[in-house]
Amino acid sequence: MFYRKVYKNAWQAIHNNMSVIFFGIFASLLGFHEVKILFNLTGTTPDFLGTSIESWLKILLTFATAKVGLSDLPNLMTLVGFFVVFAIATILAISSQGALIKAAGEKKKTSSMIERLRVGVEKFWPLLGLNVINTLLGYFFIALVIEPLIYFLSNSQDWSIYIILGIVTFFVLIPMIIILSFVTRYGAAYVVLKNQNFSEAFLNSWVLFKANWVITIENALLLLFITVLFFVLMFTALVFVFVPFMILAMFMSFSVLAFWIIMVIGVFLAIFVFIFGTAYYGALYNMVWTYIFLELVSPGKSQSKVHRLAHKHLPRLAK
């Protein structure tokens, strides 16, 4: 009943107000961090925010070390252009995440798109801080600390060091990254819906996760399955959309113009399906986590069957 209510509410919230899909386009740029780290614990592929941070650092380093002359002006203007594009995209992505949380938290869906976006912009800095924590730990920390440790372990001949570092890596560092990812997810809801600052939201979200860690991980695993299913369906939809146009274009190969017109239409339709599907799932993903948060902080909250079972047999671990 717990998850049926949460996912039903998220589904209905989108279908009752399809405008939230617009926010899903940009929120999906932030990725599906909780699912990603469960799917690939040692993955070092940067997400959008990680790529942006790397790009900003490179641009700032270039400005700090380059000898600027008139001949270098076009290249510097290009770098400035990239900086502005990444900055705008980051603002839209973070603000859209806040707008989706705001939309899920409304008892009556009366706010306009502008009002929801305004709330996301107002909460931009604390939301950015929470997302940067995910990026720093989920990408940079894995790339700079955990991956070298795993490489060292694979080449270590000293069994005592191997065991100690193995325990620290797989039972301390990696779980810490996973836990902080969930904590910052709840922290974003505290920032938007409870009007808390960064530190308050982070501390309260840690307390909330600690008391509801079973439900949190359970939902992440469920979303992992749904995410895999979504991308399978997405790939299938793209095939069914594009392949008929490709076949038709081959039959029209006697006319170069007709061939390319049909192929371009097929490509554009496939791009539209991909963007719409990703935007829809981006909205659903963020709203599901918000409804989970609302269920956990509500008076007389309900619990999942797994949580009730864990509470019965492991009361100290599942409160």
Q: What's the average pLDDT block by block, 10 residues per block, for the chain (319 residues)?
A: 84 90 92 66 60 72 66 72 84 95 85 91 95 77 71 70 72 79 94 96 95 89 90 92 89 82 93 94 95 88 53 51
Q: How many Å separate Cα 135 from the centre of its chain?
A: 10
Is the Cβ–Cβ distance between 56 and 318 less than 8 Å?
A: no
Domain hosting 297: range is 2-313
* CA distance linking residue 245 with residue 247, whole number of Å: 5
Q: What is the pLDDT of residue 40?
A: 57
Residue 201, Cβ density class (10 Å: 0-12 exposed, 13-18 middle, ≥19 buried): buried
Domain count, the chain: 1
Q: What is the pLDDT of residue 316?
A: 52
* CA distance linking residue 227 with residue 37, whole number of Å: 13
Could you tell me if residue 318 is inside a domain? no
Q: What is the pLDDT of residue 313?
A: 43
Could you tell me if residue 201 is inside a domain? yes
Non-local (6+) Cβ contacts of 38 within 8 A are 178, 220, 221, 224
Q: What is the pLDDT of residue 151?
A: 73
Q: What is the pLDDT of residue 276?
A: 95
Could you tell me if residue 319 is inside a domain? no
Radius of gyration, alpha carbons of the chain: 23
